[in-house]
C-alpha cells in the first residue's frame, strides 16, 4: 500500500514534523474557532496534558524508565514560570523557556542516581520525589508562598480574541512545538539509542552506547517537556500551588500515557483527551441518575479507575496501539482480497525449495 511519491511525507525530520504540525495545528485552530469558550479551556488543558504525557512517554515508553513522579517536574516548571511572571514583566515566551530549562536541569540531576536503578526501584524513587515536592513550598514558603501558592495572571489576549481562546492557542501552540522537538529527537540517532538501551542494555553497550549517559539525557529531555507542560499549566490554571502537583497528577500522567499508547507521541494526545473528558463524561452521566451524594462523589474516580483497567485489558498497547493493529488488519484484509497468500513468511535464500521428496 504505497502512496504516490508526491503524497509521501519528506524524510527530513524537521520538514516532516513541521508539515505534520502545521496540518494538526490548522485543525486545532479551526476547532478553537468553532467551539464554546469553556471548550477552549478544555482544549488548553488537553494541550498541557499532552506535552506532559509525551515527555513521560519518551522516558518510560521509549527508554523503559518508569517514573511515578512526573508531576514533580511539572511542578518545577510551573513554579519557575510562576515566579518569573510574578516578579518580572517579560514576554510570555521567557518564563516558559525558563520553565523548560529549570525542569531539564532538575530532571538531569534526578536522572544521575536514577541511571543505576531499575524498574520498581526507580519507580520508588520517583514516587518519593513526587511525594516530597508537595511539601517543599511549605518549607520555603517565603519564596513559594506556602499552601496558597502563586497567583498567575492570565495572559492578555490581543484585540477581540476571547481570553479562553487565546489561552487555548498559547497552550496548544506550546504543546505542538514541544511535540515537534520530541519527534525530531525520537527520529534521530538518540531516539534509536534510547530504544536500544531499553531493549537490551548489554547489547547496547557492546554496540558502543553508554547506557548511563543516555538515561540521564532522556531524563533531562523528558523533564523539559514536563517543565513546558508546567509552564503552560501555570497560565491555564492561574495558580501554582502544592496541591496542583499531588501524587494523583503523576499517576494520571502515567495512566494517560498507557491509555494513549506508551512510547507514542500521537498516543499522548489520546491520553490527554481521555484524562480531560473521562471525568467530565462521568460527571455528566452520573448527573442523570438519582444517586446518593456519597455514591455520586465517588462515581468519577470509580469510573476512571475502571476505565483504566478495561482499556488495559482490551487494548494492552493503548489506543494508539489498538488503532495501529486495526490499520494493519485492514491492510491484511485488503491484501487478501487481492489474492495474496497468507503465508507471510519469506523463505530464506539458503532454504531449499519446498518440493516433496518421497523417502
The smaller minimum CB distance to other proteins, of residues 95 and 271, is found at 271
Q: How far is the CB of 332 from other proteins (least distance, A)?
A: 7
User: Cβ atoms within 10 A of the Cβ of 195, count?
Assistant: 16
Q: How far is the CB of 86 from other proteins (least distance, A)?
A: 12
Q: How far is the CB of 327 from other proteins (least distance, A)?
A: 16
Helix 211-237 × helix 37-56 angle, to 10°: 170
Q: How far is the CB of 23 from other proteins (least distance, A)?
A: 16
- The alpha carbons of the chain give a radius of gyration, in whole angstroms, of 23
The smaller minimum CB distance to other proteins, of residues 101 and 210, is found at 210
Q: How far is the CB of 90 from other proteins (least distance, A)?
A: 19
**Closest to 71 measured CA to CA, from 254, 273, 232:** 254
CA–CA dist 235, 333 (Å, integer): 48
Phi, psi for residue 68 in degrees, rounded to 5: -100, 10
The smaller minimum CB distance to other proteins, of residues 216 and 266, is found at 216
Q: How far is CA 187 from CA 12, 184, 298, 349, in A?
A: 10, 5, 43, 32
The smaller minimum CB distance to other proteins, of residues 160 and 292, is found at 292
Half-sphere exposure of 122 (CA within 13 A, CB side): 21
Q: How far is the CB of 271 from other proteins (least distance, A)?
A: 11
The smaller minimum CB distance to other proteins, of residues 94 and 132, is found at 132
Phi, psi for residue 150 in degrees, rounded to 5: -105, 130
Question: Would you list the DSSP string of 146-189?
Answer: GGG-EE-PPPPPSTT--HHHHHHHHHHHHHHHHHHHHHHHHHSH
Name beta bridge partners: 240: 150
CA–CA dist 102, 338 (Å, integer): 56
Q: How far is the CB of 3 from other proteins (least distance, A)?
A: 16
Amino acid at each position: 500500500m504505497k502512496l504516490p511519491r508526491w503524497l509521501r511525507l519528506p524524510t527530513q525530520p524537521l520538514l516532516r514534523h513541521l508539515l505534520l504540525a502545521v496540518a494538526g495545528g490548522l485543525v486545532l485552530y479551526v476547532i478553537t474557532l468553532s467551539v464554546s469558550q469553556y471548550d477552549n479551556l478544555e482544549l488548553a488543558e488537553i494541550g498541557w496534558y499532552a506535552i506532559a504525557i509525551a515527555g513521560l512517554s519518551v522516558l518510560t515508553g521509549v527508554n523503559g524508565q518508569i517514573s511515578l513522579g512526573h508531576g514533580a517536574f511539572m511542578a518545577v516548571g510551573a513554579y519557575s514560570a510562576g515566579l518569573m511572571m510574578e516578579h518580572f514583566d517579560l514576554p510570555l515566551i521567557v518564563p516558559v523557556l525558563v520553565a523548560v530549562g529549570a525542569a531539564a536541569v532538575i530532571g538531569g540531576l534526578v536522572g544521575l542516581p536514577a541511571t543505576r536503578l531499575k524498574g520498581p526501584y526507580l519507580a520508588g524513587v520517583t514516587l518519593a520525589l513526587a511525594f516530597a515536592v508537595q511539601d517543599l513550598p511549605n518549607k520555603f514558603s517565603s519564596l513559594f508562598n506556602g499552601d496558597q501558592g502563586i497567583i498567575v495572571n492570565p495572559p492578555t489576549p490581543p484585540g477581540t480574541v476571547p481570553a479562553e481562546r487565546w489561552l487555548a492557542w498559547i497552550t496548544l501552540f506550546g504543546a505542538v512545538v514541544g511535540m515537534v522537538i520530541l519527534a525530531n529527537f525520537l527520529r534521530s540517532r538518540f531516539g534509536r539509542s534510547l530504544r536500544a538501551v531499553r531493549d537490551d542494555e548489554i547489547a547496547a553497550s557492546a554496540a558502543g552506547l553508554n547506557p548511563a549517559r543516555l538515561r540521564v539525557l532522556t531524563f533531562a529531555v523528558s523533564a523539559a517537556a514536563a517543565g513546558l507542560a508546567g509552564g503552560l499549566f501555570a497560565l491555564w490554571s492561574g495558580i501554582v500551588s502544592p496541591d496542583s502537583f499531588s501524587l494523583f497528577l503523576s499517576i494520571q500522567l502515567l495512566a494517560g500515557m498507557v491509555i494513549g499508547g506508551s512510547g507514542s507521541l500521537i498516543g499522548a494526545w489520546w491520553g490527554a483527551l481521555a484524562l480531560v473528558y473521562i471525568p467530565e463524561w462521568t460527571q455528566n452521566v452520573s448527573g442523570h441518575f438519582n444517586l446518593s451524594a456519597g455514591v455520586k462523589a465517588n462515581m468519577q474516580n470509580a469510573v476512571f479507575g475502571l476505565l483504566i483497567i478495561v482499556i488495559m485489558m482490551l487494548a494492552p498497547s493503548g489506543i494508539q496501539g489498538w488503532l495501529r493493529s486495526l490499520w494493519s488488519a485492514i491492510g491484511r484484509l485488503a491484501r487478501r482480497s487481492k489474492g495474496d497468500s497468507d503465508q507471510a513468511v519469506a523463505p530464506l535464500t539458503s532454504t531449499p525449495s519446498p518440493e516433496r521428496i518421497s523417502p
